[in-house]
């Protein structure tokens, strides 16, 4: 199988990026039909982490970071480097030196479905990273892979140039062809949430404004005034 590096990819416009920066991960995930979310194992190493930008992908054999070094060369300012491995890996694939190089290139952050090390130094640099492991185990640099090829990271498909949005709730992927529709749906959800917050502020109850009482009835959920009434019922649960 041919291993390769693609130097140039299509990236979303700055206008689109600026609009998505106003939206959180959970809203985007819900707006695009509960799709594109990476799994819960990928967590930020620092609080208040947020990135929004196009994906540059690096696919590495487990325990080898040669292709991460190759990816540094093709990254552009504003990119987000998405790193995956062939085979399960929790090795420290990146550390302070690689992050320093990425920061110099203007890269916004890293999403890595493997491990990292030098966490204290990376936090001090203020560089956002989402990872599934922190591990001092090092890597080799002698096995080829791919840069800017389609991959799967945290269970989500990522193509080069897809939009990555990550915050403290997780990481979500927006396909290039879906960016406009997802943005429109996200803004509609934000508008709806604003209305819901206004209802809560007025003292309205979610059982009512979400029309959930019929669901309780359908599920045979009974109301009792006291626990004693429950104990006296035909089918007590306590």
Q: Tens digits of per-residue pLDDT, 33-85? A: 999 999 999 999 999 999 999 999 999 999 999 999 999 999 999 999 999 99
Q: Please check whether residues 123 and 220 belong to one and the same domain.
A: no
Q: Please check whether residues 47 and 92 belong to one and the same domain.
A: yes
Does residue 163 lie within any of the structural domains? Answer: yes
Give the total number of structural domains in the chain: 2
Q: Please check whether residues 229 and 185 belong to one and the same domain.
A: no
- Give which of 140, 149, 152, 154 is closest to 65, Cα–Cα: 140
Q: Please check whether residues 179 and 232 belong to one and the same domain.
A: no
Does residue 172 lie within any of the structural domains? Answer: yes
The answer to whether the beta carbons of residues 96 and 72 sit under 8 Å apart is no
- Model confidence over 104-131: pLDDT tens digits? 999 999 999 999 999 999 999 999 999 9
pLDDT above 70: percentage of residues in the chain = 99
- Domain span at residue 15? 4-189
Stated pTM of the model: 0.91
Q: HSE on the CB side for 104, CA within 13 Å?
A: 8
The structure tokens listed for 2 are: 């041919």
């Amino acid at each position: 199988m041919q291993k390769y590096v693609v130097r140039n990819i299509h990236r979303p416009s700055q206008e689109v990026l600026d609009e998505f920066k106003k939206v959180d991960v959970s809203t985007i995930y819900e707006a695009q039909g509960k799709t594109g979310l990476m799994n819960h194992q990928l967590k930020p190493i620092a609080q208040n982490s947020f990135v929004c930008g196009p994906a540059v992908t690096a696919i590495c054999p487990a325990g080898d970071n040669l292709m991460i070094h190759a990816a540094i060369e093709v990254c552009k300012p504003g990119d987000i480097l998405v790193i995956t491995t062939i085979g399960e890996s929790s090795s420290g694939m990146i550390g302070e030196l690689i992050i320093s190089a990425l920061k110099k290139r203007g890269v916004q952050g890293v999403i890595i479905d493997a491990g990292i090390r030098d966490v204290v130094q990376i936090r001090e640099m203020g560089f956002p990273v989402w990872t599934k492991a922190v591990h001092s185990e090092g890597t080799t640099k002698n096995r080829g892979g791919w840069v800017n090829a389609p991959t799967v990271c945290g269970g989500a498909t990522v193509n080069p140039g897809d939009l990555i949005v990550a915050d403290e709730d997780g990481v979500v992927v927006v396909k290039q062809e879906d960016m406009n529709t997802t943005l429109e749906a996200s803004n509609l959800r934000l508008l709806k949430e604003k209305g819901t917050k206004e209802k809560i502020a007025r003292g309205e109850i979610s059982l009512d404004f979400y029309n959930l009482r019929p669901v309780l009835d359908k599920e045979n959920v009974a109301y009792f005034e006291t626990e004693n009434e429950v104990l006296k019922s035909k089918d007590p649960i306590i």
